[in-house]
Chain A
Amino acid sequence: MQFAILVNESPYQHQAADSAYHFAKAAIAMGHRVPRVFFYMDGVHNANRLQEPQQDDRNIVQRWSQLAADHDVDLVVCVAAALRRGVKDEILAPGFRISGLGQLVEIGIEADRLVTFGD
């Protein structure tokens, strides 16, 4: 099955980004595909490579980049939400790209399920 994921909350502040990541990992481990994760609202902060969490903490941004590299997951950041919050191409972590909201609707149509992680 193909699971698309929508992340609406920033990393660290809210558990949504962690839950979304663990859901994606579990789905892939069970043989499903995660074609795209779409980052909207404060979720766009998941793409900011300038984040430096403490050494003993998980690195949420790097974790997404690794997931994209290992499993060909398309990490898409909403352009309108990103500009509003200062997230631009020059600070994107590897594997992320900025595009329009159409990419969210499109993956909703294409995937078997769309799972929202938010408040």
Chain B
Amino acid sequence: MNDEFDEDAASTIKRFMFVNRKAPHGTIYALEALEVVLISAAFDQDVSLAFLDDGVLQLRKGQDAKAIEMKNFAPTYRALEGYDIEKLYVERESLEARGMTADDLVVPVEVVDRARMSALMSEQDVIMSF
């Protein structure tokens, strides 16, 4: 069964969206979501990331997680471009609710309103939400 999957997978390009909804620390969702994103880059798919709710905090500049003995993985989002993952969408309402703007983020992103985010989601083939 696995061989069959491998062959078919090689020739199909799907639109994958990884939806990030949780703060970077406090739970492991953000970190392990990022691990899936990095693996997905090896499959030559059309990958995008969405950040909403507390997920927008994952991209916040100036994080220092030393005091809680956690790795600060925010710089990894800057490396995504090197994996050809360039579509990062951040929900405007989520930023505003937290007193943030695009200037507070570690990477250039496309800020979209909630309606546009919804439209982007409906265009996807696969959505994984963390």
Residues of A within 8 A of B39 (CB): 100-102, 104-105
Residue in contact with A106 in the complex, picked from B32, B43, B127, B130, CB distance below 8 Å: B43
* A67 in contact (CB, < 8 A): no
Binding-face segment, B2-10, B84-92, B108-116: B2-10
- B126 contact from A8, A41, A102, A108, Cβ within 8 A: A108
Interface contact tally, CB-CB below 8 A: 58
CB of B79 closer than 8 Å to a CB of A:
no
Check A105 against B45 for contact (C-beta < 8 Å): yes
Q: Give the docked Cα–Cα distance between A104 and B39 (Å).
A: 9
Give Cα distance in the complex from A116 to B126, angstroms.
Answer: 10
Q: Is A28 an interface residue (CB 8 A)?
A: no
B72 at interface (Cβ–Cβ under 8 A)? no
Is A6 close to B, CB under 8 A? yes
Chain A interfacial residues counted at CB < 8 A: 22
When C-beta atoms are compared, the residue in chain B nearest to A102 turns out to be B39
Query: Any chain A CB within 8 A of the CB of B1?
Result: yes
Whole-angstrom distance between the Cβ of A81 and the nearest chain B Cβ = 6
Residue picked from B29, B43, B126, most chain A C-beta under 10 Å = B126
Query: Residue B43 contacts which of A41, A74, A102 (CB distance < 8 angstroms)?
Result: A102
**A108–B29 contact, CB under 8 A?**
no
8 A Cβ contacts from B99-118 to A: none
Residues of B within 8 A of A (CB): 1, 5-6, 8-9, 12, 14, 16, 28-29, 32, 35-36, 39-40, 42-43, 45, 126-130
Contacts A105-B39, A110-B8 aside, 7 further interface pairs with beta carbons under 8 A come to A40-B32, A74-B1, A102-B39, A105-B42, A105-B43, A106-B9, A114-B128
